[in-house]
Structure 1
Amino acid sequence: MFQNIFSEHLSGIRKELEDYVGKRIELLKLELVERLSKCTSSIIVKLGLMYFLLLFLMFLSLAGGFYIGELLHSNALGFLIIAGFYLLLAFLLYIFRSYLVERPVIRSFIKLFFESDKNE
């Protein structure tokens, strides 16, 4: 009789444990989907902003090249000066890439993936 009650009790505990593990797995899946969705939407928005900023910068560069070209009476020289400016920016970005790119990207991913952990 004691063994029968113990067996039933153990069976109940096993069933509850299986239910708990199954629900925990489902919760982890939902959290993963939420975080990946946030990450994907964040990337899409940032790519869209970068696209429009790139177009703005392109037209601003064209206007600057023509303006400097008028001042110097040589469009080629105006565009050469604009190109030199971008070369200098690229060089500075390469030198300071750790501070300007790598660290902010790492911080944003940490914030994105671990932000909900702070709320819990």
Structure 2
Amino acid sequence: MAFDELKENTQQIQEEAKAYLESTIQYYKLWGFKIMMKSTKMVVKVFLLSFFLMMFLIFGSVSAALAIGEALQSMWLGFLIVAGVYLVLILLLLFVRSKIIERQILRKCSTIFLND
């Protein structure tokens, strides 16, 4: 009788361990899916925002260069001034990128991957 109870207890423990393992696997699959969807959503959002920002910058730059060129009676000077403004912005970004850009990226990614 004692062996039968021990055998039943062992089988019950094995079944519960198997159920626990299956539920743990399901949990990590769902967790991975959640992280993947958040990452995908962020990439798509950044892509769309970047695309429309680039379109705005292209058309805005051309129109600004034409307006400046018309005001100065020299189209090439208008385009040169707009290019110079972009050069100054690029140099500013090079000097402060680690303080602004990398910090923001690190914060955003850490909230997605670590706080859940």
Cα deviation, 1:44-79, whole Å, max 9, x if unaligned, reads: 122111101110111111111111112221111111
Matching residue of 2:14: 14
Q: How does 1:65-84 map to 2 (within 5 A)?
A: 65-84=65-84
AA of the residue aligned to 1:39 = S
AA of the residue aligned to 1:7 = K
Aligned-pair Cα RMSD in Å: 1.3
Moved over 6 A (4+): none
Matching residue of 1:64: 64
Matching residue of 1:51: 51
Query: How many residues align structurally?
Result: 116
- Structure 2 unpaired stretches of 5+: none
Percent identity (aligned): 35
AA of the residue aligned to 2:107 = R
- Structure 1 unpaired stretches of 5+: none
Alpha-carbon separation, structure 1, partners of 2:96 and 2:11? 62
AA of the residue aligned to 1:64 = A
Matching residue of 1:88: 88
AA of the residue aligned to 1:92 = L
Cα deviation, 1:70-89, whole Å, max 9, x if unaligned, reads: 22211111111111111111
Matching residue of 2:109: 109
Give the structure-1-normalised TM-score.
Answer: 0.89
Cα deviation, 1:65-120, whole Å, max 9, x if unaligned, reads: 111112221111111111111111111111111122111111111112234x3xxx
SS of 1:53 mapped into structure 2: helix
